[in-house]
Chains A and B, each alone.
Chain A
């Protein structure tokens, strides 16, 4: 007899999803015009209908944000602004389970991750930034840093509420007001967050949420009434935004793609390394811009690590995201699944060897088994392009120098991993790697106090920590 885990589904009774949602503008929910469905990617069940924000909606939101900025928020003392942020943090903690269930339903990520990572970190971001609101003059950005005004914020679908928190919390702490557009496929937690703003009695217009698709995002990017654009998403769209705002005075921060190297040296703590590799690429179905999607193994340990990795992958539990024991959930959308399938097929065609553990995938919904490709070289497309799914490309190296050269041989520079028990080598490698976040003997760790952001084509600016505040303040000499 084996130890089969009986289903342990999280109850969805805690959430109430309305059949239809409008936008959140000027402190109120306002009816939208056209609507589009948002679905549960694990079941393809339609969860609700979401308003497709058009020009009038974006105009109204920007107007509300401008009014709140000039009449209320920029005039309020930092001390008082901070208290609103503390309130928001607390309400998010109080309603954490509700947020977690909603996030998992709308996104497809395992409830364990939304419950243990996304939602607690989102609340932590508000708590952290609340404390900055009345201390901005000590942030090292000049003696009287000033907010930028109205921030237009466009966030992705991979960590819907967490990305909202990364954007909204520092913007508000610094005294800006915001117009936020959640991703087309994952708007529900942002709309629940609007309710939190109401419960926190946040002044009307400080946070405005306009739902929609890329066209809504473009309206925000190009809106003349917006002072700052913050975007997290693909490098391709990031470049479009950079060009669009070039003729304007808008400030911009971009968190874009990556193809992180996860480097395993021969003295690595092997079992924790294998955990780190799994966490690096299969966390959140690999829908992570900083995912450790390029595994670089020192040849002398490559066989051992691969053997252990495969054994470990056999234990990954893929399936119902609402089951508390699920490790890998559903791919967020049909489109994303198609991209993953396409790039994996390129891996096959280029001669890399594909391997997945035996796992039964549900019939409905969007699924992709955890997959590794071995025999990959720098010349393979799957070693260069961001797959944004549970697909790991495995390469090998002989010397530390070779590892670094391979790791840096990419236009991306968001993150990298180092596995070694030798302190001096770890510090050397972390110095050599051209990436904004280096995880040594760990991976995919996030914290509001820790700046996050990329080198090169992985973006502009940082989010989190003292460095992240600069994105929402005037006071630095350059423009």
Chain B
């Protein structure tokens, strides 16, 4: 064994494809299950949220316009990158949460497989959730689901990586961009995941990851008028009403989920119906 000193990682935010520190200069201490100090991730502020929303809004047009095939390939690419670094994620989860290696391995495996699953949905959801409608008149009428825009999400505390993927993947599958608040207690895999994203051909701003406190960030997400929808699966139930009241100001679509299914994708899509006459 050498006496070499480890080179430790500084955990920062992931906004617009870059890794800035919180504009507030704040960090908070993350300790492992035994109370041993692990890292000082950023304690994101409302202004970090604001910057992330600006990035997400700017990225929406391009990501929404990308072909479903392209979005699928990028989601698959993220899975590839995650697969290549599974050891690091397992180690981080074990280190922070005290989970067994087997349990952490299972979570990472599921996270990878979940990304692959959503990658395959990008070019299928529209044909399942859309329709052509036989109106009583000389019109061609069809309904297509399309992305809503910028969706914010609060990832659950645990599982920290799989929960994060479950929040992000269905949102971006359809062409939305996302600002996600990672698990407060176990944010390291989220920030390491940002490194995966940075090498996955994902356009800047499509996924933005913040670390910090739910109580601080969630109300700002709810009241932000340039956020179209909100996934509050990671918030305790008793907080839902308050968030929904705040979100009513711009009639945000606010949902929480219990499982991964296609309804999680369509929840953040709008159905658009187009009429056109049929004639000579």
Chains A and B come from one and the same complex: yes
Residues of B104-144 contacting chain A, CB below 8 A: 128-129, 131, 133-137, 139, 141, 143
A456 pairs with B267, CB closer than 8 A:
no
B264 pairs with A477, CB closer than 8 A:
yes
A452 pairs with B273, CB closer than 8 A:
yes
- Please indicate the chain B residues that have their CB under 8 angstroms from the CB of A445 in the complex: 135, 137, 139, 275
**How many angstroms between the C-alpha atoms of A140 and B275 in the bound complex?**
23
Option from A439, A447, A451, A460 in Cβ contact (under 8 Å) with B251? A460
| 0/1 interface trace, chain B 25-65, chain A, CB 8 Å (1 if under) | 00000000000000000000000000000000000000000
A466 pairs with B131, CB closer than 8 A:
yes
Q: Say which one of B72-80, B212-220, B255-263 lies at the interface with A.
A: B255-263
| 0/1 interface trace, chain B 229-242, chain A, CB 8 Å (1 if under) | 00000000000111
* Also in contact, A243 and B248, with CB within 8 A (given A442-B277, A449-B135, A467-B131): yes
- Please indicate the chain A residues that have their CB under 8 angstroms from the CB of B270 in the complex: 436, 455
- Separation in Å of the B118 CB from the closest CB of chain A? 14
Asked if A14 is an interface residue, CB under 8 A from chain B, the answer is no
What total of chain B residues lie within 8 Å of the partner, measured CB to CB? 43
Option from B244, B250, B263 in Cβ contact (under 8 Å) with A246? B244
Asked if B272 is an interface residue, CB under 8 A from chain A, the answer is yes
- Please indicate the chain A residues that have their CB under 8 angstroms from the CB of B267 in the complex: 476-478
**How many angstroms between the C-alpha atoms of A239 and B247 in the bound complex?**
9
- Separation in Å of the B131 CB from the closest CB of chain A? 6
- Please indicate the chain A residues that have their CB under 8 angstroms from the CB of B251 in the complex: 235, 238-239, 242, 254, 256, 456-457, 459-460
Option from B135, B249, B263, B276 in Cβ contact (under 8 Å) with A447? B135
Asked if B86 is an interface residue, CB under 8 A from chain A, the answer is no
B256 pairs with A478, CB closer than 8 A:
yes
A453 pairs with B271, CB closer than 8 A:
yes
B253 pairs with A449, CB closer than 8 A:
no
Asked if B92 is an interface residue, CB under 8 A from chain A, the answer is no
- State which size class the interface on A falls in: 35 or more
Chain B: interface secondary structure?
mixed
Asked if A115 is an interface residue, CB under 8 A from chain B, the answer is no
- Please indicate the chain A residues that have their CB under 8 angstroms from the CB of B129 in the complex: 140
* Also in contact, A462 and B271, with CB within 8 A (given A239-B251, A447-B137): yes
* Also in contact, A477 and B263, with CB within 8 A (given A242-B244, A457-B250): yes
Q: Chain B CB within 10 Å — which of A411, A452, A453, A465 has the most?
A: A465
Residues of A377-435 contacting chain B, CB below 8 A: 411, 426, 430-431, 435
- Separation in Å of the B244 CB from the closest CB of chain A? 4
A478 pairs with B277, CB closer than 8 A:
no
- Separation in Å of the A405 CB from the closest CB of chain B? 12
- Separation in Å of the A465 CB from the closest CB of chain B? 5
Asked if B245 is an interface residue, CB under 8 A from chain A, the answer is yes
**How many angstroms between the C-alpha atoms of A430 and B245 in the bound complex?**
32
A451 pairs with B143, CB closer than 8 A:
yes
**How many angstroms between the C-alpha atoms of A63 and B212 in the bound complex?**
47
**How many angstroms between the C-alpha atoms of A452 and B274 in the bound complex?**
10
Option from B146, B245, B255, B273 in Cβ contact (under 8 Å) with A478? B255
Asked if B228 is an interface residue, CB under 8 A from chain A, the answer is yes
Option from B242, B244, B253, B275 in Cβ contact (under 8 Å) with A440? B275
A449 pairs with B272, CB closer than 8 A:
no
- Separation in Å of the B121 CB from the closest CB of chain A? 14
A478 pairs with B271, CB closer than 8 A:
no
- Please indicate the chain A residues that have their CB under 8 angstroms from the CB of B148 in the complex: 455
Asked if A48 is an interface residue, CB under 8 A from chain B, the answer is no
B128 closest partner in A (C-beta): A140
**Chain B residues at the A interface, C-beta cutoff of 8 Å:** 128-129, 131, 133-137, 139, 141, 143, 146, 148, 228, 240-242, 244-245, 247-251, 253, 255-259, 261, 263-264, 266-267, 270-277
**Chain A residues at the B interface, C-beta cutoff of 8 Å:** 124, 140, 235, 238-239, 242-243, 246-247, 254, 256, 411, 426, 430-431, 435-442, 445, 447, 449-453, 455-457, 459-460, 462, 465-467, 476-479
Q: A445-B137, A467-B143 are in contact. List 14 more A-B contacts (CB 8 A).
A: A246-B240, A246-B242, A247-B245, A438-B275, A445-B139, A456-B250, A456-B251, A457-B251, A460-B251, A467-B131, A477-B257, A477-B261, A478-B264, A479-B256
